[in-house]
Amino acid sequence: MKSILVIGSSITDMVIRVKEVPLPGQTVSGDDFQTFAGGKGTNQAIAARRAGGNVSFLAVIGNGELGKFAS
């Protein structure tokens, strides 16, 4: 099997659930907050691995809390 190298972005998606979509200028409170790994590079690497590929992923991440989450 050939190796796959994905070079791309790794970000942290922050998702807040709300009961309704806010109207322009309106503020709504959220019920639930979650974080997920995301970014085009991350998503491509995960998809290639799930398809059976031997995947390595190269990205630059920060050393703050979100960077720690990504690594």
Q: Is the pLDDT of residue 70 over 80?
A: no
DSSP string, 15-42: EEE-SSPPPTT-----SEEEEEEE-HHH
pLDDT in tens, 2-33: 899 999 988 888 999 999 999 999 999 998 99
What fold does the segment set 3-70 form as a domain?
A: UDP-N-acetylmuramoyl-L-alanine:D-glutamate ligase (3.40.1190)
Pair 10, 42: CB distance under 8 Å: yes
Domain boundaries, the chain: 3-70
Average pLDDT over residues 30-50: 91
Residue 57: its H or E element? strand 54-58
CA distances from residue 11 to 18, 20, 39, 49 in whole angstroms, order as listed: 22, 26, 5, 18
